[in-house]
Amino acid sequence: MQFKSIYFRCKSCGAPLKFSPVDKSLRCDFCDTSEVIDKKREIIQEYDCKTALYNLTLEVAKKEPKEIVCSNCGASFASTPYSISSNCPYCATPAITDFQHNDIPKSMLPFSFNQEEAQKIFREWIGSLWFAPSKLSDYVDGHKKLSGIYLPHWTYDSQTNTPYRGQRGDIYYVSVRKTVVVNGEQQEVESQEQRIRWTFAQGRIDLFFDDVTVGATDSIARNILDELSPWDTSALVPFDEKILSGFEASEYSIGLDDSFEIAKVKMDETITQHIKRDIGGDQQLIDYKDTVHSHVTYKNVLFPVWSTSFEWNGKNYVFGINGQTGKIVGDRPYSIAKIVSLVVAVGIVLAVAFYFNNK
């Protein structure tokens, strides 16, 4: 499927304009001309989840690789089925394509800081890690740059009602006499032993969840997507192609229905905590709970992430930085050589101390 890309041209020199997180404007990298982005006055809406899920059963979107035609140099290049924003590999012009399906994001969070600031956050994080490979520091200080990408997310609101049954455990102590051996002689002593008194408990928990976020892409591991939270959704703005300019962005590869199942798991963790507090006591057992969700609404949004990956000893490590808050997450490699060197050094110090102490 072929698409004609769009981009925004500088009025002064004709070069492509890119979104600047610093002043929230379109800016030219060549002549530094900036263009104000008019704020849209659209209201960020919630959409009925039940209606949307019904419509999904009527039409299944077929995803095919996209062929993009650059509006600047005319070259065509292949893009992944879920890509909606990238850069032309031939002239580096931002290439924004249209969404083709019903899961069009209606709102987004713009990047709050630029690539230079993201690189600084990444360097400081790496510098704080113990036993990080020296090669990783070389990688950070080199020419490899973090990539800015807008990742699709769903947010869910839900009213929950959860009846439960369980048991409340209250700790108490009893005095018991025991025979112990003291200096080779048996003696009887009195001690306190812990017991738990279990009593039946039941009740009902009513909770309202607002903007439970679920990453809707498989381009980054689920654990990293989850750890990048929280997102301040009060800062959402209406979807605007100008804010995408210069950044990558992708469509939804995880649907509304599957993502809601993930959201329910997140909500269940909070519900369980509330049930335990409601039961009270020192320990709690939950024998039964059944949550009913009602008035479920959703938003389809794009969240900003700075990301990169690093290969070390045959394993790929992926890092992500929340483009709104600066929170950084990801697996980190360890330098075995540095760990071994430290162990050897500590061993030498202990051996020397032991020698002089005995002497």
How confident is the model over 40-66, as a mean pLDDT? 73
- Taking the C-alpha atoms of residue 14 and residue 90, their distance in angstroms, rounded to an integer, is 17
3-state secondary structure of 262: helix
- Taking the C-alpha atoms of residue 309 and residue 319, their distance in angstroms, rounded to an integer, is 6
What tens digit of pLDDT does each residue of 249-277 get?
A: 887 888 888 899 999 999 999 999 999 99
Rg of the chain's alpha carbons, rounded to an integer? Answer: 28
**Beta bridge mates, 330:** 319
What tens digit of pLDDT does each residue of 129-153 get?
A: 655 566 566 555 555 678 899 999 9
Q: What pTM did the predictor assign?
A: 0.78
Non-local (6+) Cβ contacts of 214 within 8 A are: 153, 154, 155, 156, 254, 259, 260, 262, 263, 266
What tens digit of pLDDT does each residue of 232-250 get?
A: 999 999 999 899 988 988 8
How far apart are the two ends of the chain, measured CA to CA in Å?
83
**Two structure tokens written together for 282:** 């020192």
Q: Where are the beta strands (DSSP E) in 14-70?
A: 17-20, 25-28, 34-36, 47-48, 66-69
> Contact at 8 Å (CB) between 157 and 183?
no
Non-local (6+) Cβ contacts of 272 within 8 A are: 286, 289
Tell me the angle at which helices 134-141 and 115-127 cross, rounded to the nearest 10 degrees.
160
Q: Concatenated DSSP letters for 135-187?
A: HHHHHHHSS--PEEEEEEEEEEEEEEEEEEEEEEEEEEEEEEEEEEEETTEEE
Question: Is the pLDDT higher at 251 or at 168?
Answer: 168
Buried b (16+ CB within 10 A) or exposed e, 256-273: beebbebbbebbeeebbe
Q: Residue 322 class from Cβ within 10 Å (0-12 exposed, 13-18 middle, 19+ buried)? A: buried
Non-local (6+) Cβ contacts of 347 within 8 A are: none
**Two structure tokens written together for 61:** 């979107």
Question: What is the chain's percent helix, strand, coil content, to nearest 5?
Answer: 25, 40, 35
What tens digit of pLDDT does each residue of 295-344 get?
A: 999 999 999 999 887 777 777 778 899 999 999 998 765 544 544 454 55
Q: How high is the pLDDT of residue 76?
A: 66
